[in-house]
Amino acid sequence: MMQKKVILFVLSSSLIACGSVENSRYRDTAALEKPPTLALQKTISNTIIDDSVEPKKQLGGLNDNVVLIDENPKSVILKLPINDAWRTLGIALNQSDIKITDYDKNKHNYYVSYKSQGVFKNILSALNEEDTKTIYLVTLTQQNGETLIQAALANRTEQRSQNTEENVSRATDDSDGLIESLYHLLRDDVKTDR
């Protein structure tokens, strides 16, 4: 039994001696191999963006690209070629309360249903049980690389397609109000993917 105690004592002392010996080879890690540093190269030309995964950045308003011509009748100048202006106006109308009832892309015309935004007219229309949907013709015309947008009350047959005969006779022309609404919509609110 004594012999076992001696062997146990010798083994434990040697283990303690091994642990207490300081060997700088195990403490200094400067000489150890380090993993290489990888440089990631990211170039825009190699990047493919899938719109279904990453949506396009949407910007609000066209700001200085829209000018209100405050003459009689009012109009809007959109500093875009006519095809781009046609597309942008369509996006703006779809994002607003102004409803597109018909369009003719070849002539660059939109027919829209517009309810006057005036306070007095809104009170009167609230009192009317049968609300009049006034149809306007919004025309886009190319001028010196820019686009002129004008609005006018649509003719009686186009009004009749949306309203009863009684409502057609009560249709009032607020094309200036429509132009102002389009101006503010295009300048401040329209969300485009430029």
The residue segments making up the domain with residue 126 are: 59-192
pLDDT number for residue 42? 54
What is the average per-residue pLDDT within 30-35? 76
- Whether residue 53 lies inside any domain: the answer is no
pLDDT in tens, 42-59: 555 555 555 555 454 455
CB–CB of 141/75 below 8 Å?
no
Return phi, psi of residue 59, to 5°: -105, 145
CATH number at residue 71: 3.30.310.170
Q: What is the pLDDT of residues 1-28, one digit of tens each?
A: 788 888 888 888 877 776 655 666 666 7
What integer pLDDT is reported at residue 116 of this predicted model? 76
Predicted structure pTM score: 0.60
**Cβ neighbourhood burial of 141 (10 Å; 0-12, 13-18, 19+):** middle
Of 136, 131, 68, 129, nearest to 99 by C-alpha is 136
Lowest mean pLDDT among 57-66, 118-127, 134-143: 118-127
Q: Is residue 178 part of a domain?
A: yes
User: How many structural domains are present in the chain?
Assistant: 1
Tell me the pLDDT band of 115, cut-offs 50, 70 and 90: confident
DSSP state of 186: I
